[in-house]
């Protein structure tokens, strides 16, 4: 689990505040973003060359680069698709994007 404000790793699952910045961790109750996993995989499969899945997960800069390069001629989109299937893809907040 990571603090959404400072990005510090939180080792204690029961922590209420971040030791580094002191912000409340009530927003950090979910460790994964599994409710969006299927949507992200479908976006990557059908619109991966346009980087739409990157925009959807909050990676705007990488999404623009993929849009301009057509997903690195499809190679970058293919790599993202494989990473999504393996369950190692993370959104902009550091949450894993998986299917359950």
Structure confidence at residue 5 (pLDDT): 73
Q: How large a percentage of the chain has pLDDT more than 90?
A: 44
* Partners of residue 2 on adjacent β-strands: 9
Q: What is the 3-state secondary structure (H, E, C) of the chain?
A: CECCCCCCECCCCCCCECCCCCCECHHHCCCECHHHHHHHHHHHHHHHHHCHHHHHCCCHHHHHHHHHHHHHHCHHHHHHHHHHHHCCCECCCCCECCCC
pLDDT tens, residue by residue, 56-77: 999 999 999 999 999 889 999 9
pLDDT tens column, 28-48: 444 454 457 889 999 999 999
Residues 6+ away with beta carbon under 8 Å from 26: 16
């Amino acid at each position: 689990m990571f603090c959404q404000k400072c990005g510090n790793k939180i080792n204690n699952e029961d922590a209420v505040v971040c030791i580094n910045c002191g912000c409340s961790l009530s927003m950090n109750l979910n460790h994964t973003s599994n409710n969006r996993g299927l949507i992200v995989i479908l976006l990557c499969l059908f619109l991966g060359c346009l980087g739409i899945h990157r925009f959807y997960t909050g990676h705007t800069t990488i999404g623009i680069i993929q849009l301009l390069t057509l997903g690195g001629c499809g190679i970058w989109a293919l790599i993202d698709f494989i990473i999504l299937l393996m369950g190692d893809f993370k959104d902009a907040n550091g949450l894993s994007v998986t299917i359950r």
